[in-house]
Amino acid sequence: MTRTSVASPANIALIKYWGAVDLERALPLNPSISMTLRECVTVCTAAILPGGGEDLIQIAGADGILADAPGRFARAVAAHLDRLRARAGRDVPIRVATRNTFPTAVGLASSAAGFSALAVAVTRLLGLRLGADELAELARASGSGSAARSVVGGFVEWGMAGSGDSAAIRVLADASHWDLRDVIAIVDETPKDVSSREGHRRAPGSPHYAARSAELPRRLEVVRAAIAARDLAAMGDVIEEEAIELHLIAMSSRPPIFYWGPGTLRVLERVRRLRADGVPAYATMDAGANVHVLCEPAWEADVQAALVELPDVVRVIRDGVGEGPADAPPLF
Ligand code: PMV
């Protein structure tokens, strides 16, 4: 195969991965559960460069035009290409181009989408036919652990604590099981200044870390059961607790990390008011200021209408559960 092109999704964590046993290999301290998205994707096109030479790593600008990727991102991609080449046993130069359909580095899992897209596109390009666990392992070897959950669709659990294989992923339910929607309120598009990786590193130093860990076995059970029963209200409180405690731990890490902005609190307040008015919607955030609001399809338009009218909300992305990586039109 001389060229492959794949769209791989971001995901939103219902139970958060926060804290690592091994940061380099992104081995989590606790299991996490996410929902794979369908609109927030990274498109990655990869081709073997004829005639040897260097890799060519490009990124699409807002206008869709490809340009050389900036240094730090290009280095992370090049390191990922090296790992993928080593796995395939093929030392060939590769051209890759990526385009995100959503804002990058603002806590919307752009690294999960990006590194899973690279893993899927490049392994296919190099002729490997891998199962989900192998792909997940390669995706998270980038250092973005949550990328492991983006190689498959639906509702996904990753990282069985205490088991020998803490890299394992498990599809709890396919996308067709439950058409859950995610209305994402964008309140800040400035790239965050502290990476999730640094957040994982500092997390165990928070005085709240142990208290949240003690809650996790129950929360995992609640979320697994709610997914099986397609019952958002049954897991609503738990997913909000998870989001708030992720940020509580970040804010009480040493030194503290503040991912929230004023808009975050206003969206959370609006979601509570929606519920008081009878709209079953629940909020969650990853490591950023922007807020995912989960609801059933029947309530999606009401949720969107309530969020767009908030002055802090720059825009809203309507997303929902997706089926995982898929072929995409090539970028070059
Ligand atoms: O995969 P990373 O290293 O970018 O960390 C992801 C951390 C959270 O998004 C906050 C939680 C999660 O489980 O996705």
Neighbours of 56 (CB within 10 A): 17
β-strands 66-68, 155-158 pairing: unpaired
pLDDT tens-digit series, residues 43-81: 999 999 998 789 999 999 988 899 999 999 999 999 999
Tell whether the model's pLDDT for residue 162 goes beyond 70: no
**Which residue from 15, 17, 206 has its CB within 8 A of the most atoms of ligand 1, so it is best to mutate?**
17
Q: Which atom of ligand 1 is nearest to the CA of 146?
A: 1
pLDDT tens-digit series, residues 266-285: 999 999 999 999 999 999 99
User: Ligand 1 within 6 A of 286 CB?
Assistant: yes
- Among residues 162, 117, 171, which one has the least CA distance to residue 331? 117
Rounded Cα–Cα distance for residues 128 and 176 (Å): 28
SS3 at position 302: helix
**Which residue from 27, 33, 140, 146 has its CB within 8 A of the most atoms of ligand 1, so it is best to mutate?**
146
Owner of token pair 């803490």: 166
Domains and CATH numbers, the chain: 3-176 (3.30.230.10), 181-320 (3.30.70.890)
Q: Model pTM?
A: 0.97
